Structure 1
């Protein structure tokens, strides 16, 4: 493993020409989160490496996953008649999820603040994000879990693919346009998930047994939000960005793939 050539010399040479370019049009990010992150990043000392911030946020996501796995190993803890996850666990997971999300938003600002932004740092960040897609979904699954009031494991599997599809789609978009259009669904989902964890600690998992509207259960709302966000927000915006950035880019792409 140590002697394996993961990146060719030609690919390494390409890093010298690479320049990070991203566009964020999400109102939540622009008017709420970015001002918040701009304040938070000033707390960090300039000697703190951006990659360490990135990795710390990822470790919090993994810790949440392991903590929930300990209290809910078979995803039945939220089902009626089973021993539920303690309320304090939901609070801890909710707070740490928001902290991890904050660190993910701050690491790039720290890199630019300390003039240490590199293509490898971006690759490290996005590589960890790809793993986090799994941990986020599986951890939040414990809110509903399995059983008569929960979500089937097969649906969980589909939701994992939907989230991964959204992640891959945004990077396909960047590969072909040279610009990373940050998906709206990420910021909205992270704030919502953190909030829902705290609400679960206050109202208990039994509150999610009740219908949200008519016979439409909260578990159905959970599933519909993830799929709907991917199909109605992420996918259309990615295609719109792909076709509108540069017509020549679109032409070259379809010519190369035809």
Structure 2
């Protein structure tokens, strides 16, 4: 069983936060059901989650940007200098994280790249969950793959239980378990994140995870197999009833005296 202490060791910290316990519980609940059930798979999955969640500490994107950090990260093509100075954190005020999200993930850029079409989509569909899914269209993809209604209820992805389940479903469907078995960390990062951002940190976290003895409880999920339908015989192969002696005698008499059969 993966413990909160294991997550801290993977993150390289001793600081305790409630999210460690919540994520460990959710991971143990679902991991085996989605094939994350050996040392390599567990280490690879948790290393990626570690990076995306700031060391297993948050399931919602941190948008607490300073004025300088906001412009450096997103640039003038995503947010104007006036908005940077108005919304970014300074010595006099906190960052307006909701407004920042709607600026950097909205407008023409957000509509084209993230499918954000409504005024508040940037905030509603900000980076969320163990995989930091971002944008309405990506939330819709998660919903389609997982069956979890995160488009109408985006906060579900920011909860440990539903967020972890969705991440594990996608991990399995994308074939990342098999890639983990083969040690394809770089390819996994590209599939999971779309590039190599955070790859060095993920590899460091994976290295720490591989030093631990990680396991998960066996899945308690049960499935009832659906019996296969009985094959239908083609008309030419349909068996016919064998005629008895009375039917044979009757047919013989009719053949001899056809007029008496009416």
TM normalised by structure 2 equals: 0.25
Q: Which is richer in helix?
A: 1
Pair member with larger Rg: 2
TM normalised by structure 1 equals: 0.25
